[in-house]
Amino acid sequence: MSKKFSEVISSRIWCETPELDNPFAASSCVCCGYDVYNDLLKNARYSDYLYLLFKHKQPSAEQSALLEGLAIALANPGPRDHSVRAAMSAGVGGSTHASALIAALAVGAGNLGGAREVFTALEYWQHCHTDLDKWQQWIADPPQLGREDIWHPMEHAPGFDPNGISCPTPVKQTLAHLVEVGNSETLRWLQACRTQLEDFAGCPLAFSGVAAAVLYELEFLPQEAEMLFLLLRLPGAAIHSLEQERLGWRKYPFFGDGFKLTS
Amino acid sequence: MSVHSKLEKFEDNWRTSMGGWFPGDKVVLRGKDVFTEVNHSSWMEYLLFATTGKESPKIARLMEGMWVICTSFPDPRIWNNRVSALAGTARSTGALASAASVAVTEATLYGLKPIKGATDFLYRADQRLREGESLEQIIKSELKQHRSVYGYGRPIVEGDERVKPMMDFARSVGCDAGRYTKLAFEVGDYLSASRLKYQINIAAVCAGLLADQDLRPIDFYNLMILGFSAGAMPCFIDALQQQEGCFFPLRTSRLNYTGGEEVKHWRV
């Protein structure tokens, strides 16, 4: 007989049925109405399951293509990216593999090219939509919180690279692909207005900006977009950390001559 | 066409006065030789100097008291500590447990957001008082804009058992209530008498005490980041020493499914 507990975990996402011989093991798991191991496992693509987890419904063909494209574009930011460098710094020192991912998450969480930038950019999309005048106004005069927060204020327009010169080819290629497969008015507008937005921002569109636009199109909330962006960039952090662990610290920059103590 | 990136001048060129390691020779922190000039500091004095540049055994001792009295409850039900207990029961490592618990401490309901927010509020409130606003006006506008005042109110229980022992400790180390601490309690008096019934919590008390020592919100935040670790570690050790997987196990019926009953089939 099942015991009754006053304290429970409420979830509209996940439901379990116990095994007959063990109340602590599930015999079936249902996610947003779909049987995970009897249906999704056989029929769903990974990126579609991700969409289901966040949005609680099966994606359309266009939504599926958008998320699949974004996931590939973000999966490996490359070994020069701050978050991947953090993971590699764990790898070369022989740190735990979990610490490499924690390092990547911590560094990749920030306002510069990170998940918090995507969060903020999503707020811009929610406010400005595809209204160029509103974008110009918010970029020129960003909203103020009115009190200090653990996050530092943005130092550049969210979704744009303050250290960039022109929009990098991979960013343009990603946007062009997503326009092609996504049937998205939002992304078509971004592609058409990119250079004007870049003029407002004073710097080029970045991957964080493309990610924010895609996730706005997919009706993600800022906090959902922040989480997914963190998740999607972890594969690169993992494999580059493992690669540098294997190669060892002697083959990894220490910047031995680049450090200058000024006083 | 050659265009120079803003980053080029920083390549292999990190200039700092903060400090560094000279391999095989010495370590420098904020201009001081660690082996000869700060080697007799307590760890908390070292942290204070590293974080703020201040050299003050009194502030370091006050901070140490805050770490002991206010932030290191060894209870695995508290959310940040629970992460360490879960790490222990799942047989992860102590460093991973601590890192996760510290990160989780950057919370809204407790921990680092109220710590930074309460200090920021006291400084802003003090400034507005000097400009002629009443305390009531200031609190009401804070509530209107943010729907809360960091440092007041508390989940689980209303009162905060840490307030008296912390104030007793502060007095014992010569940190009597100054302007900001008094302001913190005045805000508490107002809010506890209001319909919200918010009582002062330890974040506002510590914020007041440290503002009276001229620490800024970012100083308090930086100094408190590791302050919760001594509460998390015993929870990790305790769970590690008990049977694996036995920390508050959940049977499937503990999940209260609130989604729809309809069984769907994935369209292929």
DSSP letters spanning A108-175: TTSSSSSHHHHHHHHHHHHHHTT-HHHHHHHHHS----SS--SSPPPSS-TTB-TT-SS--HHHHHHH
**Given an 8 Å threshold on Cβ–Cβ distance, is B259 in contact with A15?**
yes
**Nearest C-alpha of chain A: how many angstroms from B125?**
11
**Nearest C-alpha of chain A: how many angstroms from B172?**
31
What pLDDT is stored for residue A10 in this prediction?
97
Splitting chain B (268 residues) into consecutive groups of 10 residues, what average pLDDT does each group show?
82 97 96 97 98 97 96 95 98 98 95 94 97 97 94 87 96 94 97 93 96 96 96 98 98 96 93
pLDDT band (50, 70, 90) for residue A100: very high
* Domain ranges (residues) in chain A: 14-38+46-55, 61-143+153-246
Q: Which residues, numbered 201 to 220 in chain A, qualify as contacts with chain B under a Cβ-Cβ cut-off of 8 Å?
A: none
CA distance B224 to B219: 9
- Per CB-CB distance under 8 Å, the chain A contacts of B255 are 8-9, 11, 14-16
CB distance from A11 to chain B under 8 Å?
Answer: yes
Q: Which residues, numbered 108 to 137 in chain A, qualify as contacts with chain B under a Cβ-Cβ cut-off of 8 Å?
A: none
Q: Token pair for residue B136?
A: 């009531």
Q: Which residues, numbered 51 to 90 in chain A, qualify as contacts with chain B under a Cβ-Cβ cut-off of 8 Å?
A: 56, 58
CA distance A17 to A24: 10
Asked if residue B105 lies in contact with residue B112, where contact means CB atoms within 8 angstroms, the answer is yes
- Per CB-CB distance under 8 Å, the chain B contacts of A60 are none
CA distance B61 to B114: 22
**What ipTM was reported for this prediction?**
0.93
pLDDT band (50, 70, 90) for residue A1: low
- Per CB-CB distance under 8 Å, the chain B contacts of A262 are 15-17
What pLDDT is stored for residue B266 in this prediction?
97
- Per CB-CB distance under 8 Å, the chain A contacts of B113 are 149-150
Question: In the predicted model, is pLDDT for residue A2 greater than 80?
Answer: no
What pLDDT is stored for residue A146 in this prediction?
86
Q: Average per-residue pLDDT in chain A? A: 97
Q: Are strands A9-11 and B255-257 parallel, antiparallel or unpaired?
A: parallel
CA distance B247 to B84: 11
- Per CB-CB distance under 8 Å, the chain A contacts of B103 are 102, 106
What pLDDT is stored for residue B1 in this prediction?
54
**Nearest C-alpha of chain B: how many angstroms from A223?**
15
CA distance A84 to A81: 5
- Per CB-CB distance under 8 Å, the chain B contacts of A146 are 145-146
Across the interface, which of B14, B92, B100 has its CB nearest the CB of A255? B14
CB distance from A147 to chain B under 8 Å?
Answer: yes
CB distance from A20 to chain B under 8 Å?
Answer: no
- Per CB-CB distance under 8 Å, the chain B contacts of A5 are 253-254
**Given an 8 Å threshold on Cβ–Cβ distance, is A58 in contact with B112?**
no
What pLDDT is stored for residue B158 in this prediction?
80
Question: In the predicted model, is pLDDT for residue A99 greater than 60?
Answer: yes
- The strand pairing partners of A160, in sequence order, are A205
Across the interface, which of A26, A44, A163 has its CB nearest the CB of B266? A44
What pLDDT is stored for residue B177 in this prediction?
86
Q: Say which residue, B159 or A231, is predicted with more confidence.
A: A231
- Per CB-CB distance under 8 Å, the chain A contacts of B100 are 102
**Given an 8 Å threshold on Cβ–Cβ distance, is A30 in contact with B13?**
no
Question: In the predicted model, is pLDDT for residue A148 greater than 80?
Answer: yes
